[in-house]
Structure 1
Amino acid sequence: MEHLLNLLLVCLVCFAFWQQRRQSEIAKMVIQRQCNQLQLQLVSVAFGRHHLKTPQGTWRWHTVYWFEFSSLGDDCYQGQLTMYGFKAGKFHLPPHHLPQL
């Protein structure tokens, strides 16, 4: 019975890791799509952390991803994407220079 519980625990950890990787890939695609629509250059994407409570005080599991982008090519800004499961939530960009058209 102990071996069965250990095996179940290992399977659970592997499943959680696999789901986290899937969410990270979706987050990167969402960020890349938004940057392309706004004519911004995506520099990097990083996993922020998991949270149990939203800033408004609601109990909801969510993950925050930080990303860096450039608008003119010689500057760098940091934005944030909040993911709720596999769905994109809040997408935040700080004020930045607009690219010349």
Structure 2
Amino acid sequence: MASLWTFILIGSVIYLFWLNRKVAEAASAHAKRQCEQLNVQLMSVACTKRRFGFLKSSKPGIKSEFSFEFSSDGENAYQGMLIMENEFLKSVVVPPHKI
């Protein structure tokens, strides 16, 4: 019986790691797409907040906030925010920046 719980625990950890990587890759793609739309250069993407819980659709998942840095002129850096549920983008916050 103990080996069954060990397999369940290991499987859960592997699944959560896989889901976490999927969310991070989706955030990177969303940040890249947002920077292309704004015609700015993407510098970095980082996760600032991550929570496991129930989403608005009443399903379990990951709620995440990612910050991304971008530059419009090559000298100044600005920081935007991506708010996601699993790999789906819910909202984007982009600060005022030079064009």
State the TM bucket, normalised to the shorter chain. 0.7 to 0.9
State how 1:58-73 maps to structure 2 within 5 Å: 62-73=63-74
Please list every run of at least 4 consecutive aligned residues from structure 1 whose deviation after the TM superposition is greater than 2 angstroms: none
Gaps of 5+ in 2: 54-60
Q: TM-score, normalised by structure 1?
A: 0.84
Q: TM-score, normalised by structure 2?
A: 0.86
The equivalent of 1:18 in structure 2 is 18
How far the C-alpha of 1:86 sits from its partner, in A, is: 1.6
The equivalent of 1:94 in structure 2 is 95
Matched, 1:46 2:33: no
- In 2, the alpha carbon distance for the partners of 1:43 and 1:36 equals 12
Q: Which AA in structure 1 matches 2:82? A: L
The equivalent of 1:81 in structure 2 is 82
How far the C-alpha of 1:61 sits from its partner, in A, is: 5.3
How far the C-alpha of 1:62 sits from its partner, in A, is: 1.4
Q: Which AA in structure 2 matches 1:73? A: G
Equivalent pairs counted in the alignment come to 92
